[in-house]
Amino acid sequence: MTIMEELKQRNFSIYGQWIGILSILLCIALGIANIFHFDIIIIWSVICLVTGLFLIFLEVPLLLRICPTSKGFDTFVRRFSSNYMRAAVYLVLSIIQWTSLIRYATSLIAVAVLLLLAAACYGLAGVTNQEFMNSKTLGGGGIAQMIV
């Protein structure tokens, strides 16, 4: 199944997952970029980098199978396998990035907006009773089951 076929299914959890992938890229890029402020913003930059690394394992289930992670970490990540749980995680991560405005406005606002969009998509999937789906392109369903 291609990306376009997945998006045509109109399942908000697929939209949330792809927005999550964009969030990963933005978290890592802007986390690194904002570290060089040499101010209290470094705290949010480091949180943003950690968020990006956590989201990689959350959104790409194939990585849990091929990367050497601890059983505790795998169990923790697998807790977030429902639309409501993922919406909650993304909402909390978004709120953390929004708090960076306490000091001053930086590009971390873009991360906060994207995380909020992903939370909204997962929340809509939960409210409309759509089943949680992982993108097959990212290792959900078919690919992850083949690797032992």
pLDDT digits (tens, 9 = 90+) for 113-138: 999 999 999 999 999 998 887 776 76
Identity of residue 121: C
Please tell me the distance from the alpha carbon of residue 124 to that of residue 83, in angstroms, as a whole number: 8
**In the prediction, which pLDDT does 109 show?**
95
Residue bearing tokens 């759509």? 130
Domain count within the chain: 1
- The pLDDT tens digits for 59-112 are 888 887 888 888 898 889 888 888 999 999 999 999 999 999 998 888 999 999
By C-alpha distance, which of 12, 16, 17, 21 is closest to 131? 12
**In the prediction, which pLDDT does 146 show?**
44
Cα torsion angle, 41, 46, 48, 49, sign: positive
Q: How confident is the model at residue 148 (pLDDT cuts 50, 70, 90)?
A: very low
**In the prediction, which pLDDT does 138 show?**
64
Backbone φ and ψ of 53, nearest 5° = -70, -40
Q: How confident is the model at residue 145 (pLDDT cuts 50, 70, 90)?
A: very low
- Full residue range of the structural domain in which residue 109 is found: 3-146
pTM of the model: 0.86
**In the prediction, which pLDDT does 3 show?**
63
Average pLDDT, integer, range 54-60: 91
**In the prediction, which pLDDT does 104 show?**
87
Looking at the predicted structure, is the pLDDT value of residue 43 above 60? yes
Looking at the predicted structure, is the pLDDT value of residue 1 above 70? no
